[in-house]
Amino acid sequence: MVVGMSGGVDSTAAAALLQKKGYEVIGMTMALSTPASRCCSEQDVHDARRMAHKLGILHYVIPMHGPFQERVIAYFASEYAAGRTPNPCAVCNPAIKFGELLRKAREAGGELLATGHYARITRDPGNGRFLLRRGRERGKDQSYFLARLSQEALGWTLFPVGGFPKAKIRGLAESLGLDVSRKRDSQDVCFVPDSGVLSYLESLRGSPFPPGPIRDRPGRLLGEHRGIAGYTIGQRRGLGIAAKNPLYVTGIDAESNTVFVGEEKELYGDACLASDPNWIAEGDIPETLRAHVRIRYKHRAAKALIEKRDGGTIRIRFDRPQRAVTPGQLAVFYRGDVVLGSAWIDSVLNLS
């Protein structure tokens, strides 16, 4: 059994739980070689190595700098340049953790790849498909970020901590004398330094993003932005505009290099178009499907009707308008605690 060890409490506890069940465990840690990274950093690699030694298991460090740069960071930069807000964790999981790392685990003869994600995998007795389910503790559930995984990846994956509350996992690690039991969880995008997204992206491209106009929807010029990569839908702070009522970013047009703003009521959308659906629970869906939809990780799932369209795209019609539906983010579809699938949000619609 191979465990992807990140150097944190969750993956360390996953390795310990599997050991207790009698598995022969091998630890693998990805090295991303990004100096500002708060995930898979040099310190995390060091912590993972120490925890593997503490558990008495073999441990290997797997260089992933090249694939991570090509598949995640390049995507991150190109999405912002296109006026969209990327979701790098949802891309990293299928491409890197359950792509490249899973391949390494299989080459090493691993029976399965286990990680410390808070989610669960079961199998549908009717159609035999692997089902991705929410983690038992809703506040820690990570199924949203795993909704791009394929059936093959799910079939080779195990989430040992997904059925436990976080407090119990920390308690287990502490009882075993594993000093990562109090290590803080990683937050936000793990590879962006404290200087912020705009500064990081400008360092990648080697030049500043051009400034441009900030306008309201009728087209009135209200100010100047510092580069579209520094803005996202729903943003209020940092606009530099004096107005009677609070203003929020309501749209970004990369072609004209324009940031649009408006009052909060303008943030709500009745529907959105989404592309590249990944269906998990079923190989396909009927022409229409009722589901609960999350449009970002912290979003409370909303009831919606999902409709097939030509070209493999779908339209998501919410029962009630949703705030700050954001192109580039992932829409994830649930029925109860089962992830039905996901698709990338392309545009927002107002049908009323």
Residue 89 CA to residue 300 CA, distance in Å, equals: 19
Residue 345: CA count within 13 A, CB half-sphere: 29
CB within 8 A of 318, min separation 6: which ones? Answer: 269, 270, 271, 293, 302, 303, 304
Task: Tell me, yes or no, if 89 is annotated catalytic.
Answer: no
What are the angstrom distances between the C-alpha of 174 and each of 16, 165, 258, 348? 11, 15, 51, 47
Residue 347: CA count within 13 A, CB half-sphere: 7
Residue 47 CA to residue 27 CA, distance in Å, equals: 12
Residue 149 CA to residue 132 CA, distance in Å, equals: 9
Task: Tell me, yes or no, if 40 is annotated catalytic.
Answer: no
The helix/strand/coil state of 301 is coil
User: What's 104's DSSP letter?
Assistant: H
Contact 273, 344 (CB under 8 A): no
* Catalytic residue selected from 40, 89, 92, 272: 92
* Catalytic residue selected from 39, 40, 89, 190: 190
Radius of gyration over alpha carbons of the chain, in Å?
A: 21
Number of Cβ within a 10 Å radius of residue 109: 8
For the annotated catalytic residues, the residue numbers are: 92, 190
